[in-house]
């Protein structure tokens, strides 16, 4: 988890952990803060699709980027870094190790450039001798 994400989660918890809706606290970490047409304040957020699309647009990322692309990148990055496939499987919730291992075809030294900044590759190359 990045320090920026950790800070954002702390801010979220500080803002909403004591919030009450009709006298009750929500049991959900991520919940609707106000009632809208299809959602009631305090209820669990069912999907982040609209929020993700808005954040993607504000960040000027490619319009075809979707949430699963981030999950795919995380698996590929972990495997490229040499993390244990069994631990990656567990973290991603894959029932079968073969599902996780499908990502290994993407993990080769020439593709590592896609998931690792140039400065880190140079540092690693120097360290490896």
Those residues with Cβ within 8 angstroms of residue 47's Cβ, 6 or more apart along the chain or in another chain:
none
* Inter-residue contact 128 to 82 (CB < 8 Å): no
pLDDT average, residue stretch 28-33: 87
Decide if pLDDT at 33 tops 80.
yes
d(C-alpha 129, C-alpha 123), whole Å: 10
SS3 (DSSP) at 25: strand
Output the pLDDT for position 52: 86
Output the pLDDT for position 92: 92
Q: When comparing pLDDT for 125 and 17, which is higher?
A: 17
For 16, the enclosing helix (H) or strand (E) is helix 3-16
pLDDT average, residue stretch 26-40: 87
Tokens of 15: 């803002």
HSE value, Cβ hemisphere, 13 Å, CA-based, for 46: 4
60-87 pLDDT per residue, tens: 988 888 888 888 888 988 888 889 999 9
Output the pLDDT for position 104: 79
Phi and psi at 111, nearest 5°, equal -85, -15
* Helices 67-80 & 85-92 angle (0-180, nearest 10): 160
d(C-alpha 90, C-alpha 11), whole Å: 28
Tokens of 56: 């993607």
85-124 pLDDT per residue, tens: 999 999 999 999 999 988 877 666 555 666 666 555 455 5
Output the pLDDT for position 47: 83
SS3 (DSSP) at 31: strand
Output the pLDDT for position 91: 92
């Amino acid at each position: 988890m990045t320090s920026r994400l950790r800070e954002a989660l702390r801010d979220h918890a500080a803002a909403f952990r004591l919030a009450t809706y009709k006298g009750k606290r929500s049991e959900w970490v991520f919940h609707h803060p106000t009632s809208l047409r299809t959602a009631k304040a305090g209820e669990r957020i069912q999907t982040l699709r609209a929020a993700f699309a808005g954040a993607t647009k504000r960040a000027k990322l490619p319009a075809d980027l979707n949430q699963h692309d981030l999950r795919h990148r995380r698996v590929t990055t972990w495997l490229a870094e040499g993390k244990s496939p069994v631990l990656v499987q567990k973290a991603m919730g894959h029932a079968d190790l073969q599902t996780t291992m499908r990502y290994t075809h993407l993990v080769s030294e020439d593709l590592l450039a896609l998931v690792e900044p140039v400065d880190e590759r140079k540092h690693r190359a120097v360290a490896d001798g």
